[in-house]
Structure 1
């Protein structure tokens, strides 16, 4: 899942009196509770409709702790994305290796794509947070596109070019890359549909991993079809 390079705002301030008396481990737990509560509430209600007081109450923490750990509500919101995202270069390294076969690259690509889905109930919180940002953008979604989605897409089309024998991607390769990604995106945005029609297919991490294995086979067939078109001069 996505990487978010922007960091939460850092303000020089003293810890709230309540947290200042706590051992460091308690302070870290308080920060984690704030993050978990914020992810859930931001995802359910959106950034503008969620108050810091509401978050602090849900986390059983002092409101002043938000200022201390995150600077302000915007810093907490950004920290939520920072906490749940893997750096783009780490994701890319899972599928863009010069010695990988096509299947190995596709397996690695889908492995990093399904990672957010493997967290059970936590996956719902994470995905809802992203959907809310897409529907009510604060600027973080645009950063996500620039810092993670675009680099990963370009890395994928680079892999495809390597296996198709092309020096640089054309529109057909970009379309192929979008199609490969879309098969997995369906698992994310169509979770409610799958839960009604075939709930067993996403009922466990094992089921999700099995689905990803099938996607690898489907994607390999798409790439081979494109390769055949190129060889026949019909691209």
Structure 2
């Protein structure tokens, strides 16, 4: 008789399912804790301001260890600096500003897209977005912790926007008329950011009734001014 064949595979021990490496899991948990701290800190800083906010309250509300702020941000100052940078990035990201200003659209369309994004975000203040309230507080009572936000958010975006406005005016972005025009266009956005929704409604009750109409008006007003300045610059260059 032939020997009976055995099922060798049945005798092999089953391999246990692979578990994610402990380090990878720890990194994921750490990233989640950091993001949770950032979100909660944004709300606390928006409510209380930098001076009266404490790491203890932030950690308690984030269900995090009291040492987590020091571990992830180096302390309250580092956390606040990170919150400022995150708030500015959420208002309008560098990627969006780059996409708009470097597109093949006309100068007028670029300006319209940019204002639509900024004004649309500012108009959300009634929904309780902490990002705008944090930026508003910082603009009204500046701290010494704006450096990262200025370096990584404000300055790169400013270079892109002044380049766009310089193209509309037909002059280099370093021309004084570009700086003056940029301030004239950004100024109304800063007013909407700094002034509380309650005060805006008291002073200008119809301001945010129709956001689309407001954006169209701001674009038309800005383009009218830019066209006038461009004509003056062309006239001066002929003399």
After TM superposition, the score normalised by the length of structure 2 is 0.69
Match of residue 136 from structure 2: 131
User: Residue 108 in 1 paired to residue 113 in 2?
Assistant: yes
Offset from partner CA, 1:15-43 (integer Å, 9 cap, x none): xxxxxxx9999877665553333212223
d(CA) in 2 for partners of 1:122 and 1:62?
A: 30
Shift of 1:185: 1.7
Shift of 1:213: 2.4
d(CA) in 2 for partners of 1:146 and 1:26?
A: 29
Gaps of 5+ in 1: 1-21
Which one has the largest radius of gyration? 2
d(CA) in 1 for partners of 2:103 and 2:60?
A: 50
Shift of 1:61: 4.1
Q: Which shifted more, 175-184 or 71-80?
A: 71-80
Query: Is the CA contact 1:116–1:123 (under 8 Å) kept in the aligned structure 2?
Result: no
Match of residue 43 from structure 2: 40
Structure having greater relative contact order (Cα 8 Å, sep ≥ 6) = 1
User: Residue 63 in 1 paired to residue 69 in 2?
Assistant: no
Query: Is the CA contact 2:59–2:66 (under 8 Å) kept in the aligned structure 1?
Result: yes
User: Residue 160 in 1 paired to residue 165 in 2?
Assistant: yes
Offset from partner CA, 1:196-229 (integer Å, 9 cap, x none): 13445336xxx33432222111111111111222
Match of residue 197 from structure 1: 203
Match of residue 8 from structure 1: none
d(CA) in 1 for partners of 2:156 and 2:122?
A: 21
Gaps of 5+ in 2: 1-24
Change (3 A) 1:209 1:78: farther
SS of alignment partner, residue 233 of structure 1: helix
How many positions carry a matched residue from both structures?
211
Shift of 1:100: 1.9
Query: Is the CA contact 1:66–1:72 (under 8 Å) kept in the aligned structure 2?
Result: yes
Query: Is the CA contact 1:96–1:155 (under 8 Å) kept in the aligned structure 2?
Result: yes
User: Residue 224 in 1 paired to residue 224 in 2?
Assistant: no
Change (3 A) 1:169 1:24: closer
After TM superposition, the score normalised by the length of structure 1 is 0.70
Change (3 A) 1:42 1:154: same
Match of residue 95 from structure 2: 90
Match of residue 81 from structure 2: 78
Change (3 A) 1:152 1:23: closer
Change (3 A) 1:119 1:59: farther
SS of alignment partner, residue 236 of structure 2: coil
